[in-house]
Structure 1
Amino acid sequence: MKYRQGLLVLGRVVLMVSIASWASATSAGIATTKHNLSVAGPGAVKSIDETEICIFCHTPHRAIKNDNIPLWNHNLSTTGNYGVYTSPTFDGATTIQDLGGTDATTAAVSNLCLSCHDGTIAINALNNPSNANPNGNPTMGGTNADGTIPIGTTRLGTDLTDDHPVNFIFDSALFALDNSLNDPTTLSGVVLFNGTVQCASCHDPHNSVNPTFLRVNNTGSALCLRCHNK
């Protein structure tokens, strides 16, 4: 009987340690990246009074309602037209959709990224600020005077015609049209969202193991070659 009780206790201890280790690893993913905009963040752009990390993007209550965006908390851009990438060699032109003119009900995954990275919305513009912060929306440091992301490579602006296309369908039909693409059913390391290519297809916003939050280290163009057959 004592032996059996000892095994039960040991099992509980192992389970608790496993859960604690998982939680620590999960939180450490974003905590050490520049997407940690709390006072503890490692980057130059961060809050001087907000201790929560997730709140800059997510909230458990009163989130912006959209099935495509997980408990989203950052105000979305009202940009009417971003434009889309065009090229004679781009066969996804028939399904690509402009990310402009969207609202909370029609926003795509890439609209979440653009809510900070197009430079039109202040980084601290939250739908549901933390109750624990007496100042309401976080007070930021390192931003432009209007609270937006500083000028630089991470500020994409509102013209996406010179950027890798996003918000288009990558399926077997596109694969059949373009023999320079890999079969989307065999992709690894990159992510499609409801069958579409989005910013987060190549970038993991919660992890910066690779430069610029890339899902795959691009040494030797390894990330590019996940989709492109060159």
Structure 2
Amino acid sequence: MGWNQWVAKATTKRGLGSLAIGLAVAFAGVMASAPAMAQIAGTKHNLGSNGTGTNKFSGTAEICVFCHTPHGADTSAAVPLWNRTLPAPSSFTTYDSLGTSSLDGKTAPVGSVSIACLSCHDGVTSMSAVINAPGSGTTGDATWTGGSWNAAVGASGKMPAGITNLSTDLKNDHPIGIQYGGGGITVNAKTAATKDPDFKAPANTDLNGTTVWWVDTEGTANGTRQKTDLLLYTRAASAGYVGQTVAEPFVECASCHDPHTTNATFLRISNANSAVCLACHTK
């Protein structure tokens, strides 16, 4: 299946809403490309026994299994073939709860691709708590069931303490599930100016009847969306903020981060000279 088809299908079914465009493309590349697999193998997202990162599980040398499965996936997830159970959106406290006047966009419940990221990065569930483990049956083979996490993680298998363990309190993190640029852009106003003038206008295109948006990063403004552009994720009205009437673009975790890249902190581009920040913010 081509990536355009993934885009057309990557909508949620439990009101979490959105198109998992960026992760769908990246995952398709992982499954089809040996070089892409080699990229992931050398990152901290390789949690298998052969991983080179801090966190390793002795129960498997597989890499993709901690996030993806070819069978028995959570079909409510916006990310394709997701192998983890999504946490409840209501379990998170987000930046908008601070009531800061600088937050001029409306915020939707935690969902879209962000809640997939948070199924590990909330620090609540073991990173090896997958739906479909390696081997015959969903519980996994003897190597998996007898596996253990290294000392950096501990017996619980939960995301260890540190900046990557976001917890369920997201007040001190960049807003997610928030309208891009304070709103103003919808499927009915695809090229409208953002309500907040301090944001760059996103590019858009239609793929199989679905509108997708992204913010061009330096040197990529060529009319097509690149892997190094910052992605915006479409939420239908049913999965957006209270009062939303049509589909709109939102900022999510994967707008800035690509879980399959070798870039530092999985950013889509280097943040030298604040390039990630200034791709969207005109400051």
Which TM-score band (shorter chain)? 0.7 to 0.9
**In structure 2, what is the Cα distance between the partners aligned to 1:224 and 1:81?**
28
State the partner residue of 1:196: 250
State the partner residue of 1:14: none
**In structure 1, what is the Cα distance between the partners aligned to 2:165 and 2:65?**
21
Q: Percent identity?
A: 39
Distance apart, 1:144 and its partner CA: 3.3
Whichever residue aligns with residue 193 of structure 1, its letter is Y
**In structure 1, what is the Cα distance between the partners aligned to 2:184 and 2:42?**
40
Task: Choose from 191, 194, 201 the match for 1:176.
Answer: 194
Ranges in structure 1 where 5+ consecutive residues have no aligned partner: 1-21, 100-106
* Deviating more after overlay: 130-139 vs 183-192: 130-139
**In structure 2, what is the Cα distance between the partners aligned to 1:114 and 1:89?**
25
SS of the residue aligned with 1:192?
Answer: strand
**In structure 2, what is the Cα distance between the partners aligned to 1:125 and 1:152?**
20
**In structure 2, what is the Cα distance between the partners aligned to 1:69 and 1:112?**
7
**In structure 1, what is the Cα distance between the partners aligned to 2:166 and 2:94?**
13
1:159 aligns with 2:169: yes
State the partner residue of 1:52: 62
Whichever residue aligns with residue 127 of structure 2, its letter is I
Ranges in structure 2 where 5+ consecutive residues have no aligned partner: 1-31, 186-192, 204-213, 217-228, 235-248
Compare relative contact order (CA 8 Å, sep 6+) and give the higher one, 1 or 2. Answer: 2
Confirm or deny: 8 A CA contact 2:149 2:155 kept in the other structure. no
1:134 aligns with 2:142: yes
SS of the residue aligned with 1:193?
Answer: strand
Task: Choose from 265, 274, 280 the match for 1:212.
Answer: 265
**In structure 1, what is the Cα distance between the partners aligned to 2:174 and 2:128?**
27
State the partner residue of 1:63: 73
**In structure 2, what is the Cα distance between the partners aligned to 1:136 and 1:145?**
14
1:100-139 paired onto structure 2 within 5 Å: 107-131=111-135, 133-137=141-145, 138-139=147-148
Q: Higher strand share goes to which structure?
A: 2
Confirm or deny: 8 A CA contact 1:81 1:98 kept in the other structure. no
Confirm or deny: 8 A CA contact 2:67 2:84 kept in the other structure. yes
State the partner residue of 1:98: 109
State the partner residue of 1:3: none
Whichever residue aligns with residue 198 of structure 1, its letter is E
- Of the two, which has the highest radius of gyration? 1
Whichever residue aligns with residue 134 of structure 1, its letter is A
State the partner residue of 1:226: 279
**In structure 2, what is the Cα distance between the partners aligned to 1:62 and 1:145?**
26
Confirm or deny: 8 A CA contact 1:190 1:215 kept in the other structure. yes
Q: Please, what is the CA RMSD of the aligned residues?
A: 2.0
Task: Call closer, same or farther: CA 1:131–1:90 in 2, change over 3 Å.
Answer: same
State the partner residue of 1:13: none
**In structure 1, what is the Cα distance between the partners aligned to 2:155 and 2:88?**
20
**In structure 2, what is the Cα distance between the partners aligned to 1:215 and 1:98?**
24
